[in-house]
Chain A
Amino acid sequence: MRREDDIKEKIIPHRAYRIIKLDKFELIGSFTVIFLIFMVVISFFPYILENGIGYCKQFLDTIYVDAVFDISRKDLFVFSIPYIETYGKYPTIDFAILTLIVSLVLSIIFFKTKYLKNIFLTLSVLTFINALSALYFILFAEYFPYSLPTFSYLFISTAVINWIVLMFVFGLLVSPLPTNILLKIFVYLLISLSVIVLGFLKYLLVIIVVKEYSFIFMPVLFLGFGIIVDYIYAVMFYGYFMSFITKSLLKKREEWRWVE
């Protein structure tokens, strides 16, 4: 071995020349295992959905003693999607006008805010969408196309498609990572199940908000509190996992190889 090669064996390469050491068989194994877990979770989806929606109904039954909550089902591709049926309410004209004014004012304030502009601009757009919704209810309330059951189905069916895609995408992202396979499985399950469990909590909250405060908040909840929120905590777990991997890789020379 030449002297320079000998030195290369001892130091972590400069970041421009770094590449992770990956065993091909381990890599194929990781993809296979994660894919199998993905398939297993998908096959349990009917069970997960029935139980999740069942718990949501139980919770709603306890907080709304006088209201009636039913579970209905509709087919979506290969799944029968259960969803909660109950009655909701249209906003009064006064409430719609108040919502319009408050949303517009908030939207302008958020738009003008100089600090954390990315977050405040997002909030500004969401409050603007809420203002549009209020305007719609002031002008065309009778044409509003959703009841609480139809919105309930739309929200949960959208969430189900998103969970499947999200699990597939994160499977592709977690599988090749250079760490213990058991840890990868744990993180993958953590991301997948947390998204599903928190997804049911989100669904519950949406039903309560729409039932309690009228249909006026449906658009903003669908757009701002739906799929994108799932990604925020999925990416958060992923980010922390990547941070853990980075920390451990920086301590292990043997995990890196020089670009050749």
Chain B
Amino acid sequence: MGGIMILVLKGYIISVSLLCILYALRHLIFAYDRFMGKQKIFYGDIIDDQLPTVSVLVPMHNEEKVASNILSLLSKTDYPKNKYEVIPINDHSEDKTKEIIDEFAKRYDFIKPLHRYGGKRGKPAGLNDALKIAQGEIVLIFDADYLPPKGIVRELAVNFKDPLVGAVMGRVIPVNADKNLLTKLLDLERCGGYQVNQQSRYNLNLIPQYGGTVGGFRRDIVLETGGFNENVLAEDTELTYRMYVSGYKVVYANRAECWEEAPENWNVRARQVKRWSRGHNQVMFKYFFKVLKSPHLTFFQKFDGLLLLMVYLIPFLLLLGLFDFLILFFLGDINFIAPVYVMLIPLLFSGFGNFAPFYEIAVGAVIDGLEKRVRLLPFLIFNFVFYSIYISLGFWQAILDSIKGKKEIHWDKTERFRDKGAAD
């Protein structure tokens, strides 16, 4: 009996280790590819006056600190105004968000507010209501804390000149990266995640991900396939997989850069990561076999798609492995499998979730010219425990959701830190 238990414990560690080695290799290939491989450029360099009509949706729930910044920037876009509308979605706000939106709507006729004070709450429900009134062929989404530059609407929208493009994703850069250690580390993670990971997946014709903000999609495809699933927290990941299994592709537009406000304290970051994990794992349960069976995906796309689906599962598996490791240690049965397992943690630290391992981040930092920030790489190792705990909590919530068949998703809004005038 004891022998079987030890075999199971060791078998688990070896299996998780093999899976993690696969991830480590995948990220190494991405790092090499971005550093020295042939790069694929998105469609942003196309100059065309036959642009599609665009609706920009901005979901807002108690966003008085940031609402005026984004609406002001969106009103300054260089996109033809006769093909452009902005729909700020005020979802049950209790602060001054409504007043701010209405003030902008009075000044600009292309700003068409949607105030929601009834019905289901949450971003997907808000987006579904907005899709019903949106006029644009293309729908772009920006979170309320984002600061979109003047040309970004054009850079994103022009990608849809290709009829096979179902969704597009731009690059996210923290505007408050210098604030503290957390924001600096998040800046590094973002850099590895976008500059290297997303770009490389796009280069290699794998699965670049639509991230739910600084991106967009064709309105008709989303409406035809039933709109956003209001019971899923990660509507962005869900949309990515829906596009791929329906035969469309997602473009990653590395040049379409938009500024975001990164969380400035660890508790806010913990809640954010937990929410992402819950939503992403909900999508994993739903799409795992659909990806496997899809006739529209190549072998490598399926392979990468499955690995991407499991990124918020790996931390939980690693954490379980840690307990397994401790049991084996106290049983005196730890041997050369110990280093294999333990070294996977550094190799993968930050290598799961939406994040990237240190070597991928280093390549991104060199390309981005983050000369001083790259020296913070060793600090990323301490994120392992932090992310493992909160991602695992999110994973358990996703399991409970699927067991209980939970149907009500509430806003779990990320706290904003912006001072008045800081975005100017």
Among A76, A124, A159, A231, chain B packs the most CB atoms within 10 A around the CB of: A231
Inter-chain CA distance A20–B333, complex, in Å, is: 47
Within 8 A of A (CB), among B255-272: 255, 257, 265-267, 270
Within 8 A of A (CB), among B355-370: 358-359, 362, 365-370
Q: A228-B346, A249-B366 are in contact. Are A235 and B381 (CB under 8 A)?
A: yes
State whether the Cβ of B378 lies closer than 8 Å to any Cβ in chain A. yes
Q: Which chain A residues lie closer than 8 Å to B381 at the CB level?
A: 228, 231-232, 235
State whether the Cβ of A16 lies closer than 8 Å to any Cβ in chain B. yes
- Total interface residues on B, CB under 8 Å, equals 61
Q: Mark A222-253, 1 if CB is under 8 A from B, else 0.
A: 11001110011101101110110111011000
Q: Which chain A residues lie closer than 8 Å to B248 at the CB level?
A: none
Q: Which chain B residues lie closer than 8 Å to A235 at the CB level?
A: 346, 358, 377-378, 380-381
Q: Which chain B residues lie closer than 8 Å to A145 at the CB level?
A: 330-333
Query: Which of A90-98, A169-177, A182-190 lies at the binding interface?
Result: A169-177
Inter-chain CA distance A232–B244, complex, in Å, is: 39
Docked-complex contact A122 and B385, CB < 8 angstroms: yes
Docked-complex contact A76 and B329, CB < 8 angstroms: no
- Chain B at the A interface: SS class: helix
Q: Which chain B residues lie closer than 8 Å to A169 at the CB level?
A: 347
Q: Which chain B residues lie closer than 8 Å to A250 at the CB level?
A: 369, 371
Inter-chain CA distance A173–B366, complex, in Å, is: 13
Q: Which chain A residues lie closer than 8 Å to B267 at the CB level?
A: 114, 117
Residue among A16, A76, A118, A233 making CB contact with B254, cutoff 8 Å? A16
Inter-chain CA distance A198–B379, complex, in Å, is: 19
Inter-chain CA distance A122–B338, complex, in Å, is: 19
Inter-chain CA distance A148–B371, complex, in Å, is: 45
State whether the Cβ of B223 lies closer than 8 Å to any Cβ in chain A. no
Docked-complex contact A19 and B36, CB < 8 angstroms: yes
State whether the Cβ of A165 lies closer than 8 Å to any Cβ in chain B. yes
State whether the Cβ of A37 lies closer than 8 Å to any Cβ in chain B. no
Q: Which chain B residues lie closer than 8 Å to A18 at the CB level?
A: 367
Q: A154-B334, A157-B336, A165-B343 are in contact. Are A246 and B371 (CB under 8 A)?
A: yes
State whether the Cβ of A101 lies closer than 8 Å to any Cβ in chain B. no
Inter-chain CA distance A187–B36, complex, in Å, is: 21
Q: A166-B343, A227-B346 are in contact. Are A173 and B326 (CB under 8 A)?
A: no
Inter-chain CA distance A240–B378, complex, in Å, is: 10
Q: A232-B378, A243-B375, A246-B370 are in contact. Are A223 and B325 (CB under 8 A)?
A: yes
State whether the Cβ of A22 lies closer than 8 Å to any Cβ in chain B. yes
Q: Which chain B residues lie closer than 8 Å to A154 at the CB level?
A: 334-335, 338
Inter-chain CA distance A252–B372, complex, in Å, is: 18
State whether the Cβ of A201 lies closer than 8 Å to any Cβ in chain B. no
Q: What are 26 A-B contacts with C-beta separation under 8 Å?
A: A16-B171, A16-B257, A27-B36, A114-B266, A116-B181, A118-B382, A118-B385, A122-B386, A136-B330, A158-B336, A161-B336, A162-B343, A165-B343, A169-B347, A223-B326, A223-B329, A231-B343, A232-B381, A239-B362, A239-B376, A242-B365, A242-B377, A243-B372, A246-B374, A247-B371, A250-B371
Q: State the 7 A-B residue pairs at the shortest beta-carbon distance, nearest first.
A: A145-B332, A117-B266, A231-B346, A239-B377, A16-B255, A259-B39, A118-B382
B residues adjacent to A (C-beta < 8 A): 28, 32, 35-36, 39, 41, 171, 181-182, 185, 195, 254-255, 257, 265-267, 270, 325-326, 329-336, 338-340, 342-343, 345-347, 358-359, 362, 365-372, 374-386, 389
A residues adjacent to B (C-beta < 8 A): 14-20, 22, 27, 76, 114-119, 121-122, 124-125, 129, 132, 136, 144-146, 150, 154, 157-159, 161-162, 165-166, 169, 172-173, 176, 219, 222-223, 226-228, 231-233, 235-236, 238-240, 242-243, 245-247, 249-250, 259-260
